[in-house]
Structure 1
Amino acid sequence: MSKLFEPVSGLLTVPYEPNESSELRENPPRFTWMPAKPDEDRYMLQVSASERFETDQAETIGPIPYNFYTPSHVYEPGIYYWRYALAATGAAVQSEWSQVRTFTVPAHIPETPLPAPQTRYAETSAAHPRLWLDGQRVEALRGRIREDAATCGFDVFFEKSVRPWMERELICEPERYPDNKRVAKLWRRMYMDCQETLYAIRHLSVAGVLLEDAHIVEQAKRWLLHVISWDPQGTTSRDYNDEAAFRIAQAVAWGYDWLHGFLSEEERAAVRANLLVRTEQVAFHVIERSRIHRVPYDSHAVRSLSSVLVPACIAMLHEEPEAREWLDYTLEYYACLYSPWGGQDGGWAEGPMYWTTGLAYLIDAFNLIRQYVGIDLYKRPFFTSTGDFPLYVHSPDTVRASFGDQSTLGEPPSLKTAYNIRQFAGLTGNGLYQWYYEQVKERDKDADSKFYNYGWWDFRFDDLLYAHDYPAVEPLSPEPGRIEPVKWFRDVGWVAFHRRMDDPNEHIQLIVKSSPYGSISHSHGDQNGFLLHAYGEPIAIDSGYYVAHGSTMHRNWRRQTISKNNLLIDGKGQYAGADKVLCKEAYGVVEEVSSKPGFASVRMNATEAYRETVPYLKQFVREVYWLDDTYAVIVDAVDLEQPGRVSWLMHTLHPMELKGQTFRTIGAKAEMDGRFVYASSGDLMLRQHDQFTDVDPSEYEGLANQWHLMAETKEAKSHRIVTLLVPMKKGEDKFVSYFIDDQDHGIHLYFTNEDGITRMIAVNKAY
């Protein structure tokens, strides 16, 4: 037996799980371990109720092609042991067994086994179509449409999403960038051309088959055969433009599947060959280059499973051997490692916009898998709770009030976010999710005019599929008592405080973040940050503009702490550069959340987020108190190994009135009084400006100014800053009175609101 290589799991790699500290939330457990060989690493897995692994008590599974596995059966509650080894040809063990790890299976947790590869596709048909509907369901829907053209919204789909493509000129194959260097404007044009090509092929194919209309089918074939004439190694290849490649591969998959019976053998072979090449490009990148089964934090690679591998492999299953291999990998990834961006609470570390894009494609893929393969991946705990994430951190009436990269920055939640959450309403029957969908749809009247809508999805096609597959759900307004006033997403380190979400004119949303993901991927250097939206208007905002990913606005402002409601230490923020390891190391921790009537709080620690940039930082702990549902108190504790200055930052859409230790922002609907009620180093120096520092001015030319408050301390080794924030409707002019008692080694601050209710907050002194 050769010695087994067992490397320590790193920040960016998959962990060894389950283990004795794991809390299993689904049965069976998901097994993951670090790879033991650089290539061709196949494994044997043993699970036993005995740590001695006696033959009659041990289950031996393998060979397993990758370093992750989901069993095909559940386990009885109890304590178990597991180990793995490298596998030789066949089912023999080639190496020594690994370290033995243990786990406990509790009773009454969701049962989510994954059918074994040998039997996984036993009930699948070799006939076409198979993406969304099979032949029997095509005939059933066809009959309903003949009786009523409005069935499932088909009439709207036909007029808005089919008819425009029947006479449209074919879109030309995108040209290369000048000198093959990406240009944002040309990238977007290429992107849109490929998205519209997907619309043309998919919608014409589906409508032509459902209506048995030879003219529409012929138009669909015209588009499909035109697209496969494009060079699959050219401008729409994965390596040249992955977003273009995703769309064209999906277009060819839908065309091949739905037009299968209308293509000659020669045409089928040509289309399938093109699809195979395009799918192989994506599979090779995901499995061999990005290796998301080892290092899962690649947003595009993970999304390409849904957007390409699922539809393409289903379309080619039983016809191309590789399709089964890639589909197995995809199903096993979804069953075991998904989602790398969140956990059981349903959070998404990259923020609500990337929740939207990631989940949109995943929803499409899961629906295809459930209907064709018969595997319901929605039963996993993440999917039963993830609808809560947009509900609590991206509420329908809010603007600039959530964290992370957002192509919709400055606008309310996108319509696709609402369509996603409606899917979870249909799955769970949750009326709050349906309420969210209806609120956003009522506001977003011109969805097709916006790139982040029309450039990504066709809502009429979404409506057709959803109305056919899922029941209507009654909306349920989030009145007090129906939602949690404080929602903690432990998996991603986000906490949301809400007052009257059901009424935009009375709604206050305060959210904070200190995430274990740090600034990796589409996350930013904003650990311990906060955002405040009140009475229909953003108050403390996520500042900047979404110009383009990789722009100077994105790299030098949006990702950096300078743009956040946070702290700089000697002018330096958290690490948010290009090194993924340092980004993941720049993490924060939500240490405690408490909630009782009138008094809610969160304590966060972002010390490690500054480790690379401020190595002499000993600690940065921020406590946020949300009191009597009307005002906030923020307590910042910074300790340094050498004297330094702290800059307290806040960003608004309007110029602020600065006076002494106070700042006031006045908007169209709301205003806020801010006061530094205590600073251990003495009065802070307040100033504001309306510039985006280190950003190319051409990127924000013509865009409205934003205002940036910087309150700077005197130099000291320790700092304690207490800030009072009182949001109010415009013209209310209310205030919260306070006094300080500092007779002993601590400081006690007492705050009294307009109803005469007094709350006390204790702060340790700085020495």
Structure 2
Amino acid sequence: MSFNKLSLIRGALLVTSALAWNACYADWAQSSYPLNARPLPANSEQQAQNPPAFSWSRHSTLPATYVLEITGPLAGQVTTVTVDKNWYLPTKAMALGSYSWRVRPGGTSTDWSTPRTFILNSSSAVFEVPDSSVLRTNIINRARPRAMPNGMPIRSSWSAGMVAERGNALTRLQNAVLATVTSEPPVSDSLWPLVTSSTLVTADTNAQWTNIRTHVNIVRRQLESAALIYRLTGDRTYLTEAITRGDQLASLSPSGPTSYAQFDTMTLPIAASLAKGVDFLYADLDATRRAAWLNNAAARATDVYNDLSRQNGWLDQMPFDEHGGSNLGYLALVATLSLGDVPAAATWFDFSFRNYINYVFHWSGAEGGYANGTAYGQYAIDASLQVWQPMSTASGLNMFNKPWTMGFLKMFMYFTPPGSQVHAFGDSNESKPDLRFMKALASRIPTPQALWYYKNITGDEDPLTQLQIQYPLPVLTVATAVAPSNSIYIPSIGWAAFHSNIADPLRTSLYFKASPYGSFNHSHGDQNAFTLSKGARRLLIGTGWYDWYNSPMWSGWYRQTKSKNALTYDGGLGQNTTGYSDPMLFNGQIVGYSTTNSNYDYVEGDATAAFAGALTSNRRQLWYFRAQDAFVVRDKVTAPAAHVFEWNLHAPVPITVNAATGEAQVVNVDQSVCVRPIPNNSGQTYAAVTGPAPQPGTTEYHGVYKKTSSQLSAEFLMLLDVGCKHPTVTVVNTASGRSLTVGGVTISLPQ
């Protein structure tokens, strides 16, 4: 994960500069600055959630209030609300139908935004979030532990069914806690002498952050685990260990190496663990110790609240701040568990709780993808389980029922299906998925597809999270498991997946990306890129590895287009990945997707903008011939100046090439793909490419098909023949273009 400490700078400087982008913009609610809040809902899109969340970019005059006008499906049905934020989440579901909305600054202003439309229909899932005052009352009236599900008995009173479902988890957690008692030494500020106030990440600061994260998280987990076991068993051995570890965390200075100023993503997890410890051990802690734990948590929460609340909540205007969003969630959790004990908690709660539920997550639209990639999505599951579960239990508002959450799980079903060996896209994509997190998420969502995913993931989820969810697991209340369909397109993040049979462990899987998020944050310059695997074997891959954020490997190769199965020019020049906000503008988009033809699936991406003006057009079309288990990839590119265009491919094993036909073959143990130009060797040559040293313990091989001369425009037409079956391929000119036939299936290739 990155620890790029720009949050304070963003909050202090970029909000002001970002507002300036709106000053002379025709529709002020739609900022021209890419990182500002976006006006939603829009484009007559059907909404996944009812009621939908409304948002807009702030007006350049920074008014104290906004007037939001919502026109409903019935004649004369107009609702007007005044809010002091640039977002609004109604507390009650709305009637089905077509709506429009607009917003203006409060007071006498008549500067209305352009009206936008949306649709609520029967597929819009109801998810209602009460007012903060109602939620606070519900939480304060709940007996402690607030984070323990109602009716959760002590272990000696468990039913046979509960023992079968949870007994092993409790035993595993007990064993882990007892082992850690002696294996993990105490943590203290003296272990981390380096001052890391610089906004630039270096190898030394990254090493210290890694050390802090590793050891503090062990102690946090030990506190939470021991406290939970004591609550479930009454064994005072665990109470003693929980108190010992809680005292260690409380001894870490909120202004030391784990402070918000020095390690902005570590301070609130510490506060959250202390608040959880107080919640679970409330009656077993003496008043002095309880106060010490809460005071430490409160000091940390105050630092974060003071930052996030500046400028009326700068994250509302600039939501694409990963650290800010994470801290907003932890602040909501600390507030939830400390209401009634910490006077400031009510202020933190009203600022953060509904805001965070509305915020989750700005890395996709309401359908629930995660633009930073599935590795960072996995990290988000981990953090979300730590935050959502106690928040949901304490408040009675189940975050796992949010439509976005269900879409989030769907992304993992398709892009890290059972048996996946690596993640999809973004930083850490080369790492092996820890599917226990995906299984944990699936266990809380009672749908037939979630049950299929849950049952087909081997291993158990983390016992610490499993023992805090209600019994029985929600997913186990579903009668029948149903595998999802074989293809998906997630519009808001620009991802598509094609599987030969998603339920088959030996499935062919191709993942394609052309994302409006571009290479922003943890994303890469891989618009119009793809990866290909067969079963457990990776065939065509993205290369490089995530050693640390902003490292020479990260910036010079790993994020670059030349390290992907994508188009470059003139020796590896590719998409723009530099700057802070620019990568969001230099993006891609999926402009075509279809699964309606019985012979093939289809996707088309446009990566023109990603090349920052170097190209005037860059389209990639991809057809999956399911019966032939083969793909056709067509790239068409034009530029204002002549270039030698290149079609890159990368593999985890050697690439062998037939010099006569130009066919490249990749054989990974028992699976293979042959990459063949259509027609053979037409105006291009193949060459091996040397890349940087791969991650220790792995191998990578690189090749490129490149045109034989500089050109203003070019086309690459390539066959990906999974299994190297060598189907018959013919190309015939027609009046409107060409007709391409692969193994008896014909498609049209327009000019």
Measured against the shorter chain, the TM-score band is 0.7 to 0.9
Partner of 2:713: 718
Mapped to 1, the partners of 2:98 and 2:620 lie a distance apart of 40
Q: In the alignment, is residue 172 of structure 1 matched against residue 188 of structure 2?
A: yes
Partner of 1:762: 749
Mapped to 1, the partners of 2:721 and 2:121 lie a distance apart of 47
Mapped to 2, the partners of 1:229 and 1:40 lie a distance apart of 43
Shift of 1:568: 0.4
SS of equivalent to 1:427:
coil
Mapped to 2, the partners of 1:39 and 1:525 lie a distance apart of 35
Shift of 1:96: 5.3
Partner of 1:69: 88
Partner of 2:438: 418
Q: In the alignment, is residue 688 of structure 1 matched against residue 679 of structure 2?
A: no
Distance 1:568 1:503, change over 3 A: same
Shift of 1:608: 0.6
* Superposition CA RMSD, Å: 3.2
Q: In the alignment, is residue 553 of structure 1 matched against residue 575 of structure 2?
A: no
Shift of 1:603: 1.4
Amino acid paired to 1:626: Y
Partner of 2:13: none
Q: Following superposition of structure 1 onto structure 2, how do residues 353-502 of structure 1 map, counting pairs within 5 Å? A: 353-400=375-422, 402-406=424-428, 409-411=430-432, 413-423=433-443, 426-430=444-448, 432-442=449-459, 459-466=462-469, 468=471, 470-471=473-474, 472=476, 482-502=483-503
Shift of 1:467: 6.3
SS of equivalent to 2:126:
coil
Shift of 1:575: 3.7
Shift of 1:538: 0.6
Q: In the alignment, is residue 17 of structure 1 matched against residue 40 of structure 2?
A: yes
Q: In the alignment, is residue 527 of structure 1 matched against residue 514 of structure 2?
A: no
Partner of 1:248: 270
SS of equivalent to 1:641:
strand
Mapped to 1, the partners of 2:421 and 2:746 lie a distance apart of 30
Give the one of 285, 289, 293 matched to 2:316. Answer: 293
SS of equivalent to 2:31:
coil
Contact between 1:679 and 1:720, CA under 8 Å: does it hold in 2?
Answer: no
Distance 1:740 1:246, change over 3 A: same
Partner of 1:454: none
Partner of 1:727: 722
Distance 1:620 1:335, change over 3 A: same
Q: Following superposition of structure 1 onto structure 2, how do residues 697-712 of structure 1 map, counting pairs within 5 Å? A: 700=694, 702-712=696-706
Amino acid paired to 2:240: E
Q: Following superposition of structure 1 onto structure 2, how do residues 35-434 of structure 1 map, counting pairs within 5 Å? A: 35-36=58-59, 41-47=64-70, 59-62=79-82, 64-77=83-96, 82=101, 84=103, 93=107, 98-99=112-113, 101=115, 103=117, 106-108=120-122, 109-125=124-140, 129-133=144-148, 137=151, 140-141=153-154, 143-144=156-157, 152-153=166-167, 155-166=170-181, 169-173=185-189, 175-176=191-192, 178=194, 180=196, 182-288=204-310, 291-306=314-329, 308-400=330-422, 402-406=424-428, 409-411=430-432, 413-423=433-443, 426-430=444-448, 432-434=449-451
Mapped to 2, the partners of 1:340 and 1:84 lie a distance apart of 21
Shift of 1:177: 5.0
Amino acid paired to 1:419: K
Structure 2: stretches of 5+ with no match in the other structure: 1-21, 197-201
Amino acid paired to 1:173: D
Contact between 2:170 and 2:467, CA under 8 Å: does it hold in 1?
Answer: no
Partner of 1:449: none
Give the one of 727, 739, 742 matched to 2:733. Answer: 742
Amino acid paired to 1:724: L
Partner of 1:589: 589
Shift of 1:518: 0.9
Shift of 1:562: 1.1
SS of equivalent to 2:468:
helix
Contact between 1:610 and 1:617, CA under 8 Å: does it hold in 2?
Answer: yes
TM-score (norm 1): 0.84
Distance 1:95 1:106, change over 3 A: same
Which region of structure 1 is more displaced relative to structure 2, 220-229 or 629-638? 220-229
Equivalent residues, number: 708
Q: How far does the alpha carbon of each residue in 1:477-528 deviate from its partner, in whole angstroms, 9 at most, with x for none?
A: 77xxx43232111121111111133332x31001111111111111111111
Mapped to 1, the partners of 2:70 and 2:478 lie a distance apart of 45
Amino acid paired to 1:336: N
Mapped to 2, the partners of 1:758 and 1:360 lie a distance apart of 45
Amino acid paired to 1:524: H
Amino acid paired to 1:672: V
Contact between 2:30 and 2:56, CA under 8 Å: does it hold in 1?
Answer: no
Distance 1:129 1:173, change over 3 A: farther
Amino acid paired to 2:616: K
Q: How far does the alpha carbon of each residue in 1:409-459 deviate from its partner, in whole angstroms, 9 at most, with x for none?
A: 253x21334334423xx42232x43343444425x9xxxxxxxxxxxxx81
Contact between 1:678 and 1:720, CA under 8 Å: does it hold in 2?
Answer: no
Distance 1:546 1:439, change over 3 A: farther
Contact between 2:737 and 2:748, CA under 8 Å: does it hold in 1?
Answer: no
Mapped to 2, the partners of 1:151 and 1:440 lie a distance apart of 16
Q: In the alignment, is residue 653 of structure 1 matched against residue 647 of structure 2?
A: no
Contact between 1:536 and 1:669, CA under 8 Å: does it hold in 2?
Answer: no
Mapped to 1, the partners of 2:535 and 2:301 lie a distance apart of 49
Q: How far does the alpha carbon of each residue in 1:694-749 deviate from its partner, in whole angstroms, 9 at most, with x for none?
A: xxx6xx57443310011110211111111111111xxxx52122222236562333
Contact between 2:224 and 2:273, CA under 8 Å: does it hold in 1?
Answer: yes
Q: Following superposition of structure 1 onto structure 2, how do residues 543-692 of structure 1 map, counting pairs within 5 Å? A: 543-595=543-595, 596-611=597-612, 615-629=613-627, 630-660=629-659, 661-678=662-679, 682-692=682-692
Distance 1:508 1:244, change over 3 A: same
Contact between 1:623 and 1:634, CA under 8 Å: does it hold in 2?
Answer: yes
Mapped to 2, the partners of 1:183 and 1:268 lie a distance apart of 33
Shift of 1:393: 1.3
Mapped to 2, the partners of 1:562 and 1:475 lie a distance apart of 48
Q: In the alignment, is residue 751 of structure 1 matched against residue 742 of structure 2?
A: yes
Structure 1: stretches of 5+ with no match in the other structure: 88-92, 445-457
Contact between 2:534 and 2:671, CA under 8 Å: does it hold in 1?
Answer: yes
Mapped to 2, the partners of 1:617 and 1:31 lie a distance apart of 36
